[in-house]
A and B are shown apart, each in its own frame.
Chain A
Amino acid sequence: MFARLQKDRRRLLGLALLIYILPFILHNPYYLTVLNLSALNILTVCGLTLLIGYAGQISLGHAGFWALGAYGSALLSLHTGWSPWITTLLALLGTIGLAALMGVTILRLRGNYLVMATLAFNLAVYFFLVEAEDLTGGPPGLPGIPPYKLGPLVLASDLAAYFLIWTVLLLILFLTFNLVHSSEGRALKALAASETAAACLGINPHWYKVLAFVLSAAYASLAGSFYAHYLSFISPKTFDIFFSVELVAMSLFGGRGSIWGAVLGAGTLTPLPHLLSFFDEYRDLIYGALLMGVLIFFPQGLMGLLERVLRSKSSGLKS
């Protein structure tokens, strides 16, 4: 157990080094923007992986939680003048409360009600953002969202946001690895493997499903808040159900049930459309084909593929 945690911590250290060196090599702010968006997607997909790969539940509404974090924190800071740090925290707590309420009621039911309920939730949030123009600014969006500040430092530039967002992400990845390599993570995996067998070991299925759901919503809310205060402008279009579907696709593409899979999935699929812009009108086609190809031929996703390659290199030895 400790060995696995140590291994993931070493990998995380490697990622951190790479992340903190990269800005000194890349000077194009456009790359930084793409990397920042990647980090926010990784954060959200990381939470989704806890829900999908660990607790065995699917949500098609996480763009809705992202919107709660984004609009919640943006509106609070605009109307009250409070620091974005405080409003991020308040939006997070609000999202956690709502997700807990949803989870406790919906996850009691057997079957795929969560998919329907989260879909409906996402639609409701979306239409609210579009319709409640006086509050949210409606379809044109909400401009002028204040950035985070650290003392006299205003974290508004792409570079400042890069260090802020990636540091938060690395910290949360660190905590998430703690979690998945603990009895909590095992209980979630057991639940995904067999709810009945898990329950007969004293694992409360309802509690753990709600926990995973609330955690995943919390991660999405955080990503939303950072998104809003980073770009200073948000509009409802970003938070439609297609974004929710994209997030689930990223989780599956990277490798369901693996936190590194979440990093890989969101870390490759977020920049991919930008890289493919070269292909112009074939972009979406190539993107879709790649996604389908991996999901069909490698059900364990990129992470499964990578592990297979690594394993065959180390002559089939198991660690």
Chain B
Amino acid sequence: MGEILKLQTVSKSFGGVKALRGVSFSLEDGEILGLIGPNGAGKTTLINVISGLLKEDQGHILFEGHSLKGLSPWQRAALGLARTFQHIQVFADLTVLENVLCGLHRQRKTSFWAHFLRLPAAVAEEKDFESRAYQALALVGLKEKASWEAETLPYGEQKKVVLARSLVSNPRLLLLDEPAGGLNERETEELGQILLKLKTKGMTLLLVEHDLNLVMNICDRVVVLNQGEVIAMGSPLEIQKNNRVLEAYLGK
């Protein structure tokens, strides 16, 4: 059903560093799009611009046909544009379940007063949220650890908590910044399975990843970024054969 996200000549500089130079591409509804490129290519910068943490210098971003210009990160998230971070992880001081419940915040319908006075509407919403959070935890295989302090989990499981937190509200589009970073082979394999499940649920994914194996296995299409520019776009097979991509990765 057409494009869910459309980038039109998006540019961003930090002082003299041109992190993004006229990046244009689109995400089709329901696909997994891989975004790869060497260190410093501008992948994280692009995700930051799409999610509103950074303001683009030039260009346009359309989400489901509407311009995102001027919207702050929380407003974009409320529209169903979710993301994970390369570095920022679980919320300290909260349990695994509470972390995931935070992901449902955008779908809240109750007010401050309903919660302060704990009115029936607030209790009902909490119950509903809790069962949905458990579903998301089951999906990533962490249901048994729901009541653990999130911080005390091993790194790989913390990444799963963050993933569950970002997908629990069924966002339209999920931007993933190196979700396999720091995971071992088995965990990466599991992650691939989870992402494929999300796809069958109708979610659209933008996957930034250094693990090319994972990217080639699960992505429908791949975009290659190098020094802020899109240098190739196509199916995983086409990308693997592309000479410019090989040059960028192997350094001529």
A contact set with B: CB distance below 8 Å: 1-3, 175, 178-179, 182-187, 189-190, 192-194, 196-205, 211, 257, 318-319
Contact = CB atoms under 8 A, between A and B. Distances in A.
Contacts of B112: 184, 211
B147 A190 contact: no
Do most interface residues of chain A lie in helix, strand or loop, or is the interface mixed?
Answer: helix
B101 A199 contact: no
Contacts of B147: 3, 318-319
Interface of B: 51, 53, 72-74, 77-78, 82-83, 85, 88, 91-94, 97-98, 101-106, 108, 110, 112, 115-118, 122, 125-126, 129-130, 147-149, 165-166, 169
B109 to A, nearest CB: 11
Contacts of B88: 194, 196-197
Contact of B101 (A3, A175, A186, A194): A186
A192 B91 CA distance: 9
Given A178-B115, A201-B106, A189 B53 contact: no
Given A199-B74, A200-B83, A203-B74, A1 B106 contact: no
A248 B118 CA distance: 28
Contacts of A204: 72, 74
A169 B235 CA distance: 64
Contacts of A211: 112
Contacts of B125: 183
- Residue among B74, B92, B104, B129 having the largest count of chain A Cβ atoms under 10 Å: B74
A202 B148 contact: no
B117 A175 contact: yes
A197 B85 contact: yes
B89 to A, nearest CB: 8
B83 A202 contact: no
Given A183-B108, A183-B126, A201 B102 contact: yes
Contacts, number: 102
A231 B249 CA distance: 76
B177 to A, nearest CB: 11
Contacts of B130: 1
12 contacts: A1-B130, A3-B147, A178-B116, A178-B117, A183-B110, A186-B101, A189-B98, A190-B102, A199-B53, A201-B166, A203-B102, A319-B147
- Residue among A182, A198, A199, A200 having the largest count of chain B Cβ atoms under 10 Å: A200
Contacts of B106: 201-202
Contact of B148 (A185, A189, A257, A318): A318
A198 B165 CA distance: 11
B102 A1 contact: no
B94 A186 contact: yes
A104 B41 CA distance: 38
Given A183-B101, A184-B115, A201 B165 contact: yes
A189 B101 contact: no
Contacts of A201: 74, 77, 82, 102-103, 105-106, 165-166
B141 to A, nearest CB: 19
Given A179-B115, A186-B105, A194-B91, 19 more contacts: A1-B98, A183-B129, A189-B91, A193-B91, A196-B53, A196-B73, A199-B77, A200-B77, A201-B77, A201-B82, A201-B165, A201-B166, A202-B74, A202-B77, A202-B106, A203-B105, A204-B74, A205-B74, A318-B148
Contact of A199 (B73, B94, B98): B73
A193 B103 contact: no
* Closest A-B pairs by Cβ, 4 of them: A202-B106, A182-B115, A202-B77, A193-B91
Contacts of A178: 115-118
A291 to B, nearest CB: 23
Nearest to B168: A201
